Amino acid sequence: MKAATLASSLALSLVTGASYADNPWASERAARNQAIESYIRDNDEAYVWFADFPFSTSDGIPFLILQLLPRLAPALWGSPENFLDVVGLFRDERNPDYPIARGIGWTGLAADATAPVDMSSFTCGACHIGRVRLPDGSHRYLDGGINAEFNIVKYRVRAYQTVQAISGDSDDPAHRLQAATVAITKALDQAHSENPNFFYGNYRLGERRFDAEYEAAQVAAFKADATNLIDGFMQRTTLEYQAFDTLVKKNYTGFEGPMLEGFGGMADATGISTSFGYSVSKAQGHPVDLEKQLPPSAGITDFMAVWEQGKRRASWNADNSRLVGGAGQWNGNIAIPIYRNLAAELTMGLANTDLRIGVFGIELLDGIPAPPYPFPVDTGLAAKGKGLFERNCADCHRAHNGEVYDMGTDIGRALVVSETIADTARRGFTATCGPDTRVTMPSGETIRPCAEFDGVSLEGKSELAMLPPSEHRGYNALPLGGIWAQAPYLHNGSVPTLYHLLVPGERPDAFIKGNLNYDARRVGFDWSGASEMPQTAHSYYFDTRAFSAFSKRGHDTDITHETGSYKLDWSDDPAGAMAIIEYMKTF
């Protein structure tokens, strides 16, 4: 499928706000924005699969049920224009005809879809397309960035609460299913009779049309199997909630309430995936071990930016036995890109993972440019900061640095993958995509995405699908492209701005997180609430003292490493810190 018109309708209309034409940075910024537009134009199909296609070819929640949530439980869901705004998924102004918020896809988007009823689930874009609000009130979209508003826990909790609301108080599962079926089919009939394009909005994707005829066929197919589909929805939604509750009780003792509210822009991804697998096994009557199957520590972290993945690409050592010089995830433990992308997909616990998502992800993310800083830059001050940065920061924050560091930050996220979990993950990854696995791409080409990496066969190298936990007890020093848009900082988002990162004595204990307004002086999203512009509904106070995993400690003490001595605490030279920050705006 060649998404011929998608680049123009989805990805190219970058909302750039004020031009700041009087600033020398303006022409450089314009050139970089043009480079992003050109890149997405050249990779338009990969972009759409990244942004809009669901992780599974057949699993998830029936798309019709998802669209009915605000009718089934209006008190739990958001505005009439976008009921998912309550969980931080936004309507992307660049694609106004898309029938649901960015970050949700349905199986029928694929031309080769065969399931009679469209199933929906999250897409890569849910976590990795973010936005910043500019001074004129418009938004600059961050493709491959961080959706600091998205709260996956809140979504799952509210979906579970919806099931509870429509299924009644009976203890009899059959009675609960009957009540839910009556509620859902009634809402379905009412919505479809009011508008024959209620669910799909007459959306078009290339040559595929999701018009009234398509919608009528979906409604009929759903009603023909409504009991089974609704039962599956109820069971999955309940199991997702119970699984996360199990994780919280194990690793977040004393902090259960806030964790079940969730935090925008953050997730315990390893915990979500392993707890769901544990709960499924338990529900099916298989032997389970809570301590071995779930992470040994709390691992909640900020979402990562995923642009410029080529700068993190590992390479083979001399005898092709190990991968060096780069990796993925916060602690660098997944070095092969297809498995890195597959890990993100498998986090959702969906059956029939669509490997094409991972393949297109490699194509798109390897070279997609980081977005340029959208505000003015003092280029003279930046020139002064360049030398300070190169002396104190560049050695670690270079491309293809696979080294793992312990910089005094909370170490929990680096410990979440135990040997048992790593072994389970390797077996899961390679079972889903092994050297002999064949995938037919939309073009009709059949490929083997896990047969080799950089020309070296992966046959007999299953141990490289996830690297040993013992070698990754720390965090990578990442390349800093688009660092301005990756606030708040450290792996747990405990430091609001670059200024506070370099001047640790002034780090606040608590600050606003999830705001779209920007602090251009300190470089980070508005953390103090001082902005005159309205805060997003998803901003919240983040208290670094509330739980150990949120500690603001780390990257706060000058160090001597084998490569040299480096100044990390600029409290005695705030002018130097500001010069470095000005330079980093240009990354």
| Residue from 349, 270, 338, 439 nearest 59 by CA | 349
353 secondary structure, DSSP code? B
Over residues 508-526, mean pLDDT? 96
Asked whether the predicted pLDDT for residue 532 surpasses 70, the reply is: no
DSSP state of 164: H
Residue 134: the pLDDT is 95
Matching residue, tokens 């031309």: 111
Can you tell me the mean pLDDT for 390-394?
A: 97
Strand extents, DSSP E, 389-547 = 404-405, 439-440, 446-447, 452-453, 456-457, 475-476, 510-513, 518-519, 524-525, 540-543
Q: Please give the average per-residue pLDDT across 547-558, as a whole number.
A: 97
The Cα–Cα gap between 121 and 88 comes to 15
pLDDT at 536: 63
Is residue 159 within 8 A of residue 524, CB to CB? The reply is: no
**How confident is the model over 485-490, as a mean pLDDT?**
98
Q: What is the pLDDT of residues 93-127, one digit of tens each?
A: 999 999 999 999 999 999 999 889 999 999 999 99
- pLDDT average, residue stretch 361-372: 98
Indicate if the pLDDT at residue 21 is higher than 80: no
Residue 6: per-residue pLDDT: 37
The encoded tokens of residue 411 equal 């170490």
What mean pLDDT is reported for the chain? 94
- β-bridge pairing 203-205 and 139-143: unpaired
- Which pLDDT belongs to residue 563? 82
Residue for token pair 């170490």: 411
User: What confidence tens digit (pLDDT) does each residue in 267-318 have?
Assistant: 999 999 999 999 999 999 999 999 999 999 999 999 999 999 999 999 999 9
The pLDDT score that the predictor gives to residue 561 is 85
Residues 259 and 576: their CA atoms lie apart, in Å, by: 38
Cα separation, 466 vs 429, in Å, equals 9
Per-residue pLDDT at 241: 97
For every residue of 373-430, DSSP letters joined together read P-S---HHHHHHHHHHHHHHTTTTS-TT---EE--SS--HHHHSS-HHHHHHHHHHHH
**Distance of alpha carbon 355 from alpha carbon 432, whole angstroms:** 8
- Kindly indicate the confidence band of residue 20, based on its pLDDT and cuts at 50, 70 and 90: very low
Q: Contact at 8 Å (CB) between 214 and 117? A: no
Q: For position 460, what pLDDT does the model report?
A: 96
Check pLDDT > 80 for residue 341: yes
Alpha-carbon span 48 to 40, nearest angstrom: 10
Give pLDDT, residue 15: 35
Neighbouring CB atoms inside 10 A of 77's CB total 20
In this model, does residue 18 exceed pLDDT 70?
no
> Would you say residue 2 has pLDDT above 60?
no
Residue 533, pLDDT score? 66
pLDDT of the residue at 487: 98
142-152 average pLDDT score? 97
On whether the pTM is more than 0.85, the answer is yes
Which percentage of the chain shows pLDDT scores above 90? Answer: 92
pLDDT tens, position by position, 173-182: 999 999 999 9
| pLDDT score, position 17 | 37
- Cα first-last separation, the chain: 35
| Distance of alpha carbon 482 from the chain centroid | 16
Read off the pLDDT of each residue in 194-218 and give the average, rounded to a whole number: 97
* pLDDT score of 37: 97
pLDDT of 218: 98
Q: Which residue has the tokens 């720390």?
A: 474
Burial of 499 (0-12, 13-18, 19+ CB in 10 A): buried
Cβ neighbours for 335, distance < 8 A, ≥ 6 positions apart? 314, 323, 326, 327, 328, 402, 464, 467
pLDDT at 327: 87
Taking 90 as the threshold, does the pLDDT of residue 530 lie above it?
Answer: no
Mention every residue, 6+ apart, whose C-beta is less than 8 A from residue 193. none
Which residues contact residue 204 at a Cβ distance below 8 angstroms, ignoring those fewer than 6 apart?
Answer: 97, 210
Q: How far apart are CA 465 and CA 526, in angstroms?
A: 39
Q: How far apart are CA 562 and CA 351, in angstroms?
A: 46
Give residue 529's pLDDT. 80
Count how many residues are written for the chain. Answer: 587
Of 536, 547, 575, nearest to 88 by C-alpha is 536
Under the banding of pLDDT at 50, 70 and 90, the label for residue 60 is very high
